[in-house]
A and B are shown apart, each in its own frame.
Chain A
Amino acid sequence: MVILLNDTSDIPVYLQIRNQIVIGISEGKLAPGEKLPTVRALAEEIGINSMTVNKAYQLLKQEGYILTDRRNGARVRENFGGSAGLSGESLELLKKIASEAKISGMAKEAFIGICEQYFGE
């Protein structure tokens, strides 16, 4: 799976890694149970500090996207337990995006169309 990171973005690099992996899982580019690179290998591949990658992996683990153990490293979870809902943080983010769309004069159908497009992917 290919990930894109932007050095000048306001989003911290660890969060960009987390976001890209979540997108990869949702798009099926990372299969359930698929092994992720080790923290050190991914840090070397990207050219950043291991701590940054470790922080991203810890967040993914906390959020229930991946499992980590000392022997097998990090893996994508086989099933995500299904709370069938968004976290409070994501809901806040969605609210912010919907508000921005509303203020910009975007039609409700157009906004839902974009949501459907991403959800479908």
Chain B
Amino acid sequence: MVTNIILLVCVYPFVLFMYVLLKNMLTPKKGLWYGVSLKKEQADTPEVAKIAKTYNRQMRGGLAVIMLTPIPAVFIPWFSVFMIFWTIWLLAGVVAFFIPFANANTKLKELKREKGWKKNEETERIVEIKNAGTLHRVKWYHFLPQSVISLAVFVWALVHFYGDKMAALSITIGSFAFITLLFWLAAVWMDRQKTQVISTNSEINVNYARAKKNLWKNMWVVCAWVNTVYTVALLWMLDVEMKLTGFFMGATVAYTVVVLAVLVWVLKKKKKLDILYQDKMDMIQPDDDDNWLWGMIYYNPRDKRSSVESRTGFGITTNMAKPAGKVLVGFLAVVMLQMVIVCAWVVLLEFTPISLEIEDKVLVASQINDDYSIPISIIQEVTLLEEKPKWEKISGTGMDNLQKGTFRIAEVGRCEVFLNPQNGLFIRFEAAGTTYYMSGYDDAETMAVYEELIQ
């Protein structure tokens, strides 16, 4: 239950962040109401006010449901069920906030058609040619130190853990090092976006674009530094004897909080920037509402660009009609599939009983597959314990009814574990220089194996 409460505290900020993000989207800007282009006199009509009222009501309802549902979930006793609940909750959180927006967008589009407000200019393109292709704020030296440090940490981990049981963990460190490079790529991608035309005055367009790109650049630079510090901390945590779980959770919470704080800060700055330029936005934008599905997803096969300025929220969005959009959809599908597979795997781990037996003079510890096969001829110093030592997991599984993998006992060292911590009897033994702690499905199975081992 303590783990559940910690997870609740970690995940809760996500909801608040989503709410702040959507509140930012809610504010009509650049002539857009819920992703639909409207003139001020059109937006001031009672029909639009009614749509806005419905939107606000649905948003408040969504927020209440999403904020309240996790509280009873704290009492779920099974880790895998709890994890499935969180996965569904996170996805539901996104959907619950976006459905009112999509509803308001659809209703406004219908209203525009009914009232004859729709202009027939969707094929028009407005382009700022001043400073085209030269308005870049991201320089290579902004991201080089973070990338070098992250990669150096990864290489060091690869060399240091080579041939060790910890080798797999260098992949984890490598994944985080890779994220630093991804941040660099994302910064370059956003920096190369076309200049948004908000005014007939080129100076205003260029200054607005420059300020915005500066903001994006700063955001990615800070995120890259945070990720680099986390990658270094991860290596330190894995290589130095210490309380692993506590440190890992602390570092992860700090990472999440700092990144969310940076995002909120950037959103606020962007909002201030928009307010500053509000009076200077005299360019009438082409009416391309129909190219925006639910006001959020850009789909325009006639547009060669793979990414465009986002209509809602912050930054840019992908043109789903182009190969880059299709790649993104594929990537999201893989992520969703991975989430389902991980959930199914955790359920399998939690509800498949463990088994410990001796077959043909080999001690076999198996659950879903054979986890350990150790010839009994090399097993030494067999002892029966009534209490398992206190340890920290390095890699493997750690659940209320299952602990298996590599663990570390403070001031003793690493050991291999395969047991049900809810049992009352455990076997400890040495084999080929490694210490093992094991148990069977129940105490009777453990006792039977122990007796066979000491004979």
Question: Does B303 touch A at the CB level, under 8 Å?
Answer: yes
Measured in the bound complex, the distance between the Cα atoms of B127 and A3 in whole Å is 5
Measured in the bound complex, the distance between the Cα atoms of B205 and A36 in whole Å is 16
Residues of B in contact (CB 8 Å), total 24
Residue of A nearest to B121 (CB): A6
* B124, B195, B283 interface centre (most CB from chain A within 10 Å): B124
Measured in the bound complex, the distance between the Cα atoms of B305 and A49 in whole Å is 11
Q: Which residues of A contact B415 (CB under 8 A)?
A: none
Determine whether the beta carbon of A47 is less than 8 Å from that of B305.
yes
CB distance from B140 to the nearest CB of A (A): 19
Q: Which residues of A contact B132 (CB under 8 A)?
A: 37, 41-42, 44-45
* A45 and B133 in contact, given A2-B197, A2-B202, A2-B205 (Cβ under 8 angstroms): yes
Measured in the bound complex, the distance between the Cα atoms of B197 and A41 in whole Å is 16
Given contacts A1-B129, A2-B205, A45-B194, 16 further A-B contacts (CB under 8 A): A1-B130, A1-B202, A2-B126, A2-B283, A5-B127, A7-B123, A37-B131, A38-B133, A41-B133, A41-B134, A42-B133, A45-B127, A45-B133, A47-B125, A47-B303, A48-B304
Residues of A in contact (CB 8 Å), total 21
Question: Does A95 touch B at the CB level, under 8 Å?
Answer: no
> A6's contact among B123, B130, B192, by CB below 8 Å, is which?
B123
Residue of B nearest to A46 (CB): B127
Question: Does A87 touch B at the CB level, under 8 Å?
Answer: no
Determine whether the beta carbon of A44 is less than 8 Å from that of B133.
yes
Q: Which residues of A contact B127 (CB under 8 A)?
A: 2-5, 45-46
Determine whether the beta carbon of B124 is less than 8 Å from that of A5.
yes
Question: Does A8 touch B at the CB level, under 8 Å?
Answer: yes
CB distance from A104 to the nearest CB of B (A): 23
Measured in the bound complex, the distance between the Cα atoms of B129 and A42 in whole Å is 7
Question: Does A96 touch B at the CB level, under 8 Å?
Answer: no
> A47's contact among B131, B197, B202, B304, by CB below 8 Å, is which?
B304
A to B CB contacts below 8 Å, 15 in the list: A1-B129, A2-B129, A2-B283, A3-B129, A4-B125, A4-B127, A5-B124, A5-B127, A29-B202, A36-B129, A37-B129, A41-B134, A42-B132, A47-B304, A48-B304
Q: Which residues of B contact A36 (CB under 8 A)?
A: 129
Contact with B along A41-66 (1 / 0, CB 8 A): 11011111100000000000000000
